[in-house]
Chains A and B, each alone.
Chain A
Amino acid sequence: MSTEGNGYKSGSNLEKVLKAGHFAFTGELGPPRGANTEEVRHKASFLKGVVDSVNITDNQTAMVRMSSWAASLLLLQEGLEPNFQMVCRDRNRLAMQADILGASAHGIRNMLCLSGDHQQFGDHPQAKGVFDVDSMQLIKIVKQMRDDGKFLSGADLDGSPKIFIGAAANPFADPFEWRVHRLAKKVEAGCDFIQTQCIYNMEKFRKWVQQANDMGLTEKVYILAGVTPMKSVGMAKYMKSKVPGMDVPDEIIERLQGAGKGKVAAEGIKIACEQIEEFKEMKGVHGVHLMAIEWEHKVPEIAEQAKVLPRPVVE
Chain B
Amino acid sequence: MIVAKRKPFDEIKEMIKPFKKVLNVGCGTCVSVCLAGGEKEVAVLNAELEMARKLDDNPVELTAYTVERQCDREYLAELDDMVKDHDAVISMACGVGIQFLAERFPEKPVLPGVDTTGLAVNQAVGWYEERCRSCGKCVLAMTGGICPVTMCAKGLYNGPCGGTNKGKCEISQDQPCAWYMIHERLSSQERLDLIRDFKEPADWTDQTPRTLIQPGYKKPENEEAK
Contacts and interface: CB of A to CB of B under 8 A. Distances in A.
B156 A174 contact: no
A120 B171 contact: yes
A285 interface: no
Interface stretch (A13-21, A102-110, A125-133, A292-300): A125-133
Interface stretch (A29-37, A41-49, A181-189): A181-189
Contact of B162 (A88, A120, A132, A170): A170
B204 interface: yes
B184 interface: yes
A311 interface: no
B167 A134 contact: no
A244 interface: yes
Given A89-B154, A115-B154, A134-B159, A244 B164 contact: yes
A173 B165 contact: yes
Contact of A137 (B153, B157, B163, B187): B157
Nearest to A152: B201
A185 B159 contact: no
Given A89-B154, A131-B156, A137-B158, A244 B170 contact: yes
Q: Is the interface of B mostly helix, strand, loop or mixed?
A: loop
A9 to B, nearest CB: 20
Contact of B158 (A134, A141, A169): A134
A132 B201 contact: yes
Interface in A73-90: 88-89
Given A115-B154, A134-B157, A175-B184, A185 B198 contact: yes
B196 interface: yes
Interface residues of B, number: 30
Interface residues of A, number: 36
Contact of B183 (A120, A175, A184): A175
B147 to A, nearest CB: 14
A93 interface: yes
A68 interface: no
Nearest to A197: B162
A169 B161 CA distance: 9
Interface string B156-197: 111111111111001100000000100110010000100011
A236 interface: no
Contacts of A93: 201
A136 B183 contact: no
Given A140-B198, A175-B183, A178-B183, A134 B166 contact: no
Interface string A245-272: 1000000000000000000000000000
Given A117-B170, A136-B198, A185-B196, A173 B156 contact: no
8 contacts: A118-B154, A118-B170, A118-B171, A134-B161, A141-B201, A174-B164, A178-B160, A245-B165
Given A118-B154, A134-B158, A168-B162, 16 more contacts: A131-B155, A132-B202, A134-B159, A135-B158, A137-B200, A152-B201, A173-B160, A173-B162, A174-B167, A174-B180, A181-B192, A182-B160, A185-B198, A244-B162, A245-B164, A245-B170
